[in-house]
Amino acid sequence: MKELKTHKQQSGHIVTCPKCGFSFDITYGRAFACSSCPSSVQCSYAKCPKCGHEFPIA
């Protein structure tokens, strides 16, 4: 399993999908990929808006 990469940027918390390598702001990912989930604000997972892979975040 690939190591989860995270880093801070001015706009917020940036995560990198361990499956496809796409980097995205967690807010962006939750707005688009998690919009139908009622737990999207307090969730400890991220869902890649590019490939749909869901993975835990620290």
Q: Which domain holds residue 23?
A: 5-56
Amino acid at 16: T
Q: What is the pLDDT of residue 39?
A: 77
Q: Which has more confidence, 1 or 51?
A: 51
Which residues fall within 8 angstroms of residue 54, CB to CB, at 6 or more apart? 45, 46, 47, 48
Q: What is the pLDDT of residues 1-49, one digit of tens each?
A: 454 555 444 557 999 999 999 999 998 888 888 888 887 667 899 999 9
Statement: residue 55 has pLDDT above 50: yes
Task: Give the DSSP letter of residue 34.
Answer: S
Q: What is the pLDDT of residue 36?
A: 81
Q: What is the pLDDT of residue 16?
A: 96
Count up the domains in the chain and report the number: 1
